[in-house]
A and B are shown apart, each in its own frame.
Chain A
Amino acid sequence: MTTQSDEAPRPGVMFPGLRLPDALRISPLVLILIAILLVLIVPPVIFLVNASFHETLPDGSSGAFTLRFYRQLVSGRFFLPSLANTMIYACGSAAIAIFIGTVQALIVERTNAPGRKLAFLAAIISLGVPHVLYTVAWLLLLGRAGPVNDLIKTLFDQHQALNVYSLWGMMLIEGVGFVPLTFLLMSAVLRSTDASFEEAAMMSGASPMRAFRDITLRMALPALCGLTLLIFVKAFESFEVPALVGLAGNVSVITTMIYQSSRRAGSPDYGEAGAYSICLVVILFFLIVWQNRLSQNAQRYQTITGKGFRPRLIDLGPWRFAASAVLIGLFLAVTVVPVGMLVFTSFLPFYEGVTLDSFSRMALDNYALLIGPGSFRDSIVNTLVLGAATATLVVPFTALCAWLVVRRAPGAAMLDQIAAVPLIFPAIILSVAFLDVFVNMSIPLYGTLLSVIIASSVRYLPYGMRYAFAGTMQIHSDLEEAATISGATRARIFFRVLVPLLASALISSWLLIFLLSTQAVSLPLLLVGPGSEVMSVTLFELWQNGQVTELAAMGVLWIALMTMVSVAFHMLTRRHQMAV
């Protein structure tokens, strides 16, 4: 970090460079960060652009220049219906996730509902469930032979009541799957929003609903927009739910369309997938520019000032139990039911719906298979190192970037845009791109765990960015200005003022990135070599070859391990007086 640049900070002005007329002036620190980001992100982008404009030869190298992939993309008869489906699906999932996640975060952060803090545990358990398994669990539950349909059939005597293989099924499963993420991010936002405005509004006679609508929601607006964008894009590029749920119901979205086209010939062909990613990069670029404009007036939303800022809670009176009931209901729907379904299935030799017979067949065979030599044991250390290293690299880096962006350091807006780019790469494309980069490097990184760490740091940058951004946005610059006046250097301000204020957001961010990066499958699969495998690769192998029941057992073990890690982390931070 460059702490002292040529210009001495003047009181009240974070970045004196801003005052200079030269619009192109970029602060040296920002320049360094941009350089780091470019080094990480440009190689895969080049690979993508290249793949999208060139034929792929059978050996994987690129052939003649062509525009055919873009033409195919636009002229294909599935393109427009798929695009429409994708929009509905992404909007619907984002709406479900944001709505439920926000309600949950409001209850937890703003009310005195009993037991509310347990919602964090629930969210963390859900985040530990690999997405593929989460989807399978929902399908076991809502599928044609699942208990829900059984129940409906018995109650209403209908042949088949629910068809989960449809757009609503996709939105529901994807949306609910994102609830833990939105909940964690929204609570980070709410926790750093001063509740005294709400109190003032209510004192002046506003109803809690009105206070929520006119104060809380508005103050959280920029962060909420960023979050909506994140979930929207995430759903836009998601693959598991469209593939497992959508294809079976002939609901085609962009990602499954690309998947099918990239598998058309036997040999690898990334042209159309590349073209698609490039289109998405362009769309995302405009979305982020728009979001930046929205948060241009970010100062209006700064609520953490020099005075005590920890929000006070709203006493719901007797309604607090109703709020707890809502939390319990969400806990059941988002965590207990799908995880319970996995646990149930994991003890069975085969799954044929929830029947009484099944209970008599329960055994530990699937677990015995997994705990035996290999599988878990070989790769556990690698997996923990991967998760911890990725999170440790991403969190401080994104905190610094977000701070510079929010404080409008010259050129910093670019940081936000560059760091968001990895979000729209489909994971499989990103991994092929990184494979190409590492295998051609003169530094012997190919096949090592370090290469996986670098790649997953890039992949999870945008998540770290959203977290840090949400937190930083609401910290008023007066604290930093006070420190500046007292003679603190920028480094000192960052570490002594900003980091402590952001601590809880950063810790949640760390945990989230840890959980996400340990369960990523397609990224490590191509990058690891013999001996550097991580657990998710084993999971993938089971996914390819194993039975549903074995997969469920693996999922349960995984969730147990991730929960242990999270709880240990929780206790560790609590001992250091930091609320997560």
Chain B
Amino acid sequence: MKASKSSPFRFVLGALAASFALVSAGATAQEILTSRAPNREQLLIEGARKEGQVVLYSAAIVNQALRPMAAAFMKKYPFVKLTYWRGDTEEIVAKLSAEVRAKNVVADLVEGTGVGELAVEAGLTVPFTTPAADELPEQYRDPRGNWVSTRISYFGIAYNTRLVPPDQVPKSYDDLLDPRWKGKLAWRIGTSSGTPLFLTGIRLARGEEEAARYFDKLSEQKIVNFGSGSARTLVDRVIAGEFPIALNIFAHHPLISKAKGAPVNSQLLEPVNTTAGTMVVPKGVKHPHAAMLLADFIVSKEGQEIFAKAEYFPVRTDVAPLEVLAPIVPKTAGVKELFVSSETLNRYTESSQKIFEDKFR
């Protein structure tokens, strides 16, 4: 049991609570995390009652997702205080690795896109089991129990409806090679869900040789490198008319703006790159009982409905995404989907980044 250093008060409280919890349950933290005992939930609730708190690090939006998630969780388990810290993938990994190395772990559960596999590979996590994961499609859970998916993202292109006539909208990756789009395409660089994901998707779908030929042609389009700012702000620039077309953006963002009357729409290209956010448990977790209650809750129907309302795509098949977003779910649209797990993306990122630097920079 490592001592928390975040505050002397928390240190004493945390140490006391944790040791009580362990004594009463008679189990190590790892046993709790991977418990499949029939009375698991009962044990977790008793333990969490003593732990009294749980800390979530997440990349989800605070107002629409984390805040309602915390409120609903604390309504269900009023004896656990849920606090959260929000950062992007890069920040989450930096903070998590610093905490684990210093054996001063504040986070109990870590959720985000691209965080999972990075953290697992770096040895920053421990395996865990949540029964709710059994209800998810197979690709959304790790057979070794290191991570469980929490939400899905579909990628597509955004186009300005004033600048791109309906009959000219690119419908396939090859349509992007049309000379009329030279200098008119933009994409987001500097993050693994940006250019590396786009390039990796093509490599996976077409094989290296054909992909290389495609990239040679694509590089002649002189794509604008959108350097700083989110995929969302890139869509905003398409709306503003700065760029007629943006590649590799979250396909639901244009739909949300379109519903407000903005001159923008999204188009799926086959196969649709799909990624999933995941959650992991850090090594040296201080509140294992409460962490497991929270993990259960996030993939429960109730938790997934909160994500769905926050404009995310749920991992559960029995929770539907927002109606306005349904058109870009590949299954609904009848378009083939290419699931790029964070493990795959992580493996390809460095080489895709090199392709970017050689051909597109």
> Which A positions have Cβ atoms within 8 angstroms of B?
57-61, 78, 139-140, 143-145, 165, 239-240, 242-244, 246-248, 250, 252, 256, 259-260, 263-268, 349-353, 361, 369, 372-375, 432, 435-436, 439-444, 446-448, 525-526, 528-531, 533, 537-538, 541, 543-549, 551
Closest chain-A Cβ to B186's Cβ sits at a distance in Å of 8
B35 at the interface (CB under 8 A from A): no
Contact B240 A544 (CB under 8 A): no
Contact A440 B225 (CB under 8 A): no
A-B residue pairs in contact (CB < 8 Å), sample of 29? A57-B122, A58-B121, A58-B123, A60-B98, A61-B97, A243-B228, A247-B189, A263-B191, A265-B350, A268-B90, A268-B97, A349-B260, A350-B257, A350-B261, A352-B241, A373-B63, A432-B98, A439-B104, A440-B104, A444-B4, A525-B91, A529-B6, A530-B85, A531-B83, A543-B230, A544-B232, A545-B230, A546-B230, A551-B233
Contact A256 B227 (CB under 8 A): yes
Q: How far, in angstroms, from A505 to B261 measured CA to CA in the complex?
A: 51
- A59-B100, A59-B122, A530-B55 as given contacts; A145 in contact with B240, CB under 8 Å: yes
- A265-B353, A444-B11 as given contacts; A547 in contact with B63, CB under 8 Å: no
- A447-B106, A545-B230 as given contacts; A374 in contact with B123, CB under 8 Å: no
Residue of B nearest to A361 (CB): B261
Closest chain-B Cβ to A357's Cβ sits at a distance in Å of 10
Contact A268 B121 (CB under 8 A): no
Contact B5 A442 (CB under 8 A): yes
Contact A528 B226 (CB under 8 A): no
Contact A547 B7 (CB under 8 A): no
Tally inter-chain residue pairs, CB-CB below 8 A.
196
Contact B242 A352 (CB under 8 A): no
Residue of A nearest to B226 (CB): A248
**Which residues, 168 to 194 on B, are CB-close (under 8 Å) to A?**
186, 189-192
Q: How far, in angstroms, from A541 to B90 measured CA to CA in the complex?
A: 13
B40 at the interface (CB under 8 A from A): no
Closest chain-B Cβ to A137's Cβ sits at a distance in Å of 13
B284 at the interface (CB under 8 A from A): no
Contact B192 A266 (CB under 8 A): yes
B217 at the interface (CB under 8 A from A): no
- A145-B242, A352-B262, A432-B94 as given contacts; A541 in contact with B349, CB under 8 Å: no
Residue of B nearest to A548 (CB): B236
Residue of B nearest to A257 (CB): B361
Residue of B nearest to A435 (CB): B98
Residue of B nearest to A351 (CB): B240
Closest chain-A Cβ to B201's Cβ sits at a distance in Å of 16
B13 at the interface (CB under 8 A from A): no
- A243-B228, A446-B104, A531-B83 as given contacts; A439 in contact with B349, CB under 8 Å: no
**Which residues, 336 to 361 on B, are CB-close (under 8 Å) to A?**
345-346, 349-350, 353-354, 357, 361
Contact A243 B350 (CB under 8 A): no
Q: Which residues of B contact A549 (CB under 8 A)?
A: 236
Neighbour of B233 across the interface among A145, A349, A547, CB < 8 A: A547
Contact A61 B83 (CB under 8 A): no
B99 at the interface (CB under 8 A from A): yes
